């Protein structure tokens, strides 16, 4: 059980400038799922130390984190206790989610920064689909292939940029620690092949990763202006392709 949100707590404030678009998208999903402000069942797959789970629990939702790392889950429990909420912690792999949590067990399933590392993204997406209830949504966050090429080129690594664009997995070389990246098309296909419907697709961190953090930390007006710019660019049909991360809200109808 999750403790109800405490008055005055800015549960969405922890996202920072670079994740403002993502938190706004999640807020809209929750507004649709709980128009009466009822607690909802949320599962965060690969949720680690609770960066998303704890703020969601602070809003009064019942949150479960599934992660393969016992150390991460222990840190999650400490973080939740410090915030005065309870988050259920379950050790396991994403592909086993229906067995761990049960079918049709969640109104919202988060799968952020996971699909790029798993052996079979299609199998994991199928597991997410089996876990979310009809009328619910899956929130998936993945690295963008085009952005990787842009960032390598800006850094002067032109061969890496070419490989990032031409490799089917968006992998730019032996020192690339990200095994797989996605485009809007490949992410949408992954969702639709699992039987979900693409509800919204956003670009996350389009400009935020291209500007130095110093001015943003020092000037509140600059940070707010960047958040406003990111919000517009996130749904721009061209600019969102340049995002460091792509975020899809996939609905089970």
Can you give the pLDDT at residue 171?
A: 97
Q: Characterize 191-222 residue by residue with b for buried, 16 or more Cβ atoms within 10 angstroms of its Cβ, and e for exposed.
A: beebebeebbbbbbbbbbbeeeeeebeeeeee
Model pLDDT, residue 206: 95
What is the pLDDT at residue 36? 65
Find all residues with CB under 8 Å of 168, minimum gap 6, and list them: none
How far CA 203 is from CA of 39, 45, 82, 91, in Å, comes to: 28, 21, 32, 30
* Each residue's pLDDT expressed in tens, for the chain with a length of 253 residues: 333 333 333 444 445 788 899 999 999 999 888 766 688 999 999 999 999 999 999 999 999 999 999 999 999 999 999 999 999 999 999 999 999 999 999 999 999 999 999 999 999 999 999 999 999 999 999 999 999 999 999 999 999 999 999 999 999 999 999 999 999 999 999 999 999 999 999 999 999 888 877 666 667 788 889 999 999 999 999 999 999 999 999 999 9
Strand order in the sheet with 106-112: 88-91, 62-67, 41-45, 106-112, 132-143, 245-251, 197-204
| Total residue count of the chain as it appears in this document | 253
Architecture of domain 13-144+182-251: 3-Layer(aba) Sandwich (3.40)
* Separation of CA 168 from chain center: 22
Q: What is residue 19's predicted lDDT score, i.e. its pLDDT?
A: 87
The pLDDT of residue 219: 76
pLDDT at site 130: 98
Dihedral through CA 40, CA 6, CA 50, CA 15, nearest 10?
100
Q: Where are the domains of the chain?
A: 13-144+182-251, 145-178
Which residues, listed in sequence order, are joined to residue 229 by a DSSP beta bridge?
none
Whole-structure pTM value: 0.91
């Amino acid at each position: 059980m999750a403790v109800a949100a405490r008055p005055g707590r800015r549960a969405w404030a922890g996202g920072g400038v670079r994740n403002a678009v993502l938190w706004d998208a999640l807020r809209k999903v929750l507004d649709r799922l709980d128009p009466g402000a009822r607690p909802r069942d949320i599962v965060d797959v690969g949720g680690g130390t609770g960066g998303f789970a704890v703020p969601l629990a602070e809003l009064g939702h019942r949150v479960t984190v599934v992660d393969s790392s016992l150390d991460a889950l222990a840190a999650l429990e400490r973080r939740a206790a410090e915030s005065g909420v309870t988050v259920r912690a379950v050790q396991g792999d994403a592909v086993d989610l229906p067995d761990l949590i049960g079918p049709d067990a969640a109104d919202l399933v988060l799968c952020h920064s996971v699909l790029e590392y798993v052996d079979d993204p299609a199998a994991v997406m199928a597991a997410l689909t089996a876990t979310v209830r009809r009328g619910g949504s899956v929130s998936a966050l993945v690295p963008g292939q085009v952005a990787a090429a842009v960032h390598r080129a800006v850094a002067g690594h032109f061969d890496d940029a070419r490989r990032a664009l031409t490799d089917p997995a968006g992998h730019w070389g032996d020192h690339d620690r990200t095994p797989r990246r996605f485009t809007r098309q490949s992410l949408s296909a992954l969702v639709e092949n699992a039987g979900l419907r693409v509800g919204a697709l956003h670009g996350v961190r389009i400009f935020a990763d291209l500007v130095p953090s110093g001015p943003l930390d020092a000037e509140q007006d600059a940070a707010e202006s960047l958040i406003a710019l990111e919000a517009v660019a996130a749904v721009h049909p061209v600019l969102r392709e340049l995002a460091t991360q792509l975020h899809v809200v996939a609905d089970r109808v």
